[in-house]
């Protein structure tokens, strides 16, 4: 995916990768809907189904990247939430924090 979330040029900027992933996910959804529509038309007219291997490959990549960057986003959100906890309250919440880490 040229200029996509997997672009090596943005390897040090995961926030940019997350933004690109959102864009590419939406673009992929449009193409996947068109593919399903075309496939239904091929079925309706008894034509052989056209396979688009690159579409499947991109879908798999988007799924993996979504898992990776979803984890990245959740971890950062949790760290931000923990930074808001006053030190006096950490002792009371340490068990819950450990459970979340595990």
Residue range 39-88, pLDDT digits in tens: 999 999 999 999 999 999 999 999 999 999 999 999 999 999 888 888 88
Q: For 52, how many CA atoms within 13 A lie in the half-sphere containing its CB?
A: 14
How confident is residue 102, by pLDDT bands cut at 50, 70 and 90?
A: confident
Position 38 in a domain = yes
Give the whole-angstrom CA distance, residue 18 versus residue 65: 9
Q: Which of 47, 23, 50, 26 is nearest to 36 (CA)?
A: 50
Position 5 in a domain = no
Domain extent for 97:
13-101
Position 70 in a domain = yes
Average pLDDT over residues 33-41: 96
Structurally, the chain folds into a number of domains equal to 1
How confident is residue 33, by pLDDT bands cut at 50, 70 and 90?
A: very high
Check if the beta carbon of residue 6 is closer than 8 Å to that of residue 21. no
């Amino acid at each position: 995916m040229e200029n996509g979330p997997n672009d090596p040029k943005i390897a040090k900027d995961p926030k940019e990768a997350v933004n690109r992933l959102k864009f590419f996910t939406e673009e992929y959804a449009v193409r996947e809907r068109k593919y399903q529509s075309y496939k239904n038309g091929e079925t309706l007219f008894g034509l052989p189904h056209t396979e688009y291997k690159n579409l499947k490959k991109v879908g798999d990549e988007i799924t993996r990247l979504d898992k990776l960057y979803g984890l990245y986003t959740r971890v950062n959100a949790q760290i931000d939430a923990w930074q808001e906890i006053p030190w006096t309250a950490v002792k009371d919440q340490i068990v819950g924090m450990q459970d979340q880490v595990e």
